[in-house]
Each structure stands twice: as C-alpha cells, then as structure tokens.
C-alpha cells in the first residue's frame, strides 16, 4: 500500500498501568490516534515521556503539529511552585519533563499545538503559568474511573 506523505503530528503518550498493574506502558486513547490519522489525514507519532531523553528543538523541527491529550495524572506542582501532591496521587514525571520542554520548542518554531485537559495544563505551565488543582484529590463525579463505551 502506498500513500502520500502526510503531515507528521506528535501525540504525547501517558504512562499507564496495564495487565492489572503488572507492568507499565506508554499510550493514549484510540480515539486520539484515529482523529489524527483518519479525520485529520496526518501521520500520528506516539511520543513516550522519557525524562531527559529527547532533544526537543530538533524534534520540533520535524513536526507539523503536537497533540497533548488528557491523562490520569496532572502536571506535578513543583513545575509551577505549587504544593506537593498527596502520596497516592498519580504522577507522570517522564511526560511532564518531555512535554513541558517540547511545548516551548514547538511554540518557538510555530508548530501548532492542540491540548485537551492535561494538555491544556501542560501548555499553561510550559509558558510559566500556574495550575489551580482540583481538591480534594482523587476520583469523584468529575473524574470517573470507568472507560467510556
């Protein structure tokens, strides 16, 4: 199968537990990937958050867009001088480190960014903003723990 080279859109992946918590993986929702590939006609590139791994300027040079989907963790407060999370709050330090740097590089280079939920937090914090975190922490009626069907 051959096709034209489509715009390359990076999708930030989140760290998640799989196989009933037996191991961790990087991923995102299928609807995000399908939206980028099928509906936007772009080539999706899933980017795992690996602390200190990426040189974000050359990476941003290769991108036509950046998508920052939601995730189960919020941006850690130390990135904006906030109070630490409770010990049981989910964190994703690799994604924090990777995305906060990549957002700055993409903005500097004029790469379009689309953020959802956590992605909006990431754009805000990357540009020096602070985040008003929900309280009390944990899952409630506004943070359902079940997957949408």
pLDDT tens, residue by residue, 61-79: 999 999 999 998 999 999 9
Q: Which domains does the chain have, with CATH numbers?
A: 10-126 (3.40.50.880)
Quick count: other Cβ atoms within 10 Å of Cβ 145?
8
Give the residue from 106, 95, 94, 104 showing the smallest Cα distance to 128. 104
Instruction: Give pTM, 2 decimals.
Output: 0.84
Omega of the bond prior to 128 within 30 degrees of 0, cis?
no
> Which residue is associated with the tokens 């399908």?
34
Q: What is the pLDDT of residue 133?
A: 62
- Banded model confidence at residue 93, pLDDT cuts 50, 70, 90: very high
- Of 98 and 137, the one with more pLDDT: 98
Q: What is the pLDDT of residue 130?
A: 87
* Helix or strand (DSSP H, E) at 121: helix 118-126
Long-range contacts of residues 86-91, Cβ cutoff 8 Å, at least 24 apart: 86/137, 88/137, 88/138, 89/137, 89/138
């Amino acid at each position: 199968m051959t096709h034209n080279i489509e715009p390359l859109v990076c999708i930030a992946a989140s760290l998640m537990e799989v196989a009933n918590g037996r191991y961790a993986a990087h991923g995102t929702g299928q609807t995000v990937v399908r939206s980028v590939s099928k509906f936007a006609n772009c080539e999706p590139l899933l980017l795992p958050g690996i602390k200190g791994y990426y040189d974000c300027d050359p990476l941003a040079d290769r991108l036509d867009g950046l998508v920052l989907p939601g995730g189960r963790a919020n941006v850690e407060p130390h990135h904006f001088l906030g109070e630490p999370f409770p010990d049981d709050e989910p964190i994703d330090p690799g994604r924090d480190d990777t995305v906060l740097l990549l957002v700055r590089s993409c903005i500097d280079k004029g790469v379009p960014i689309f953020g959802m939920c956590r992605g909006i937090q990431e754009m805000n914090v990357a540009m020096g903003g602070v985040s008003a975190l929900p309280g009390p922490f944990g899952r409630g009626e506004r943070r359902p723990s079940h997957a949408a069907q």
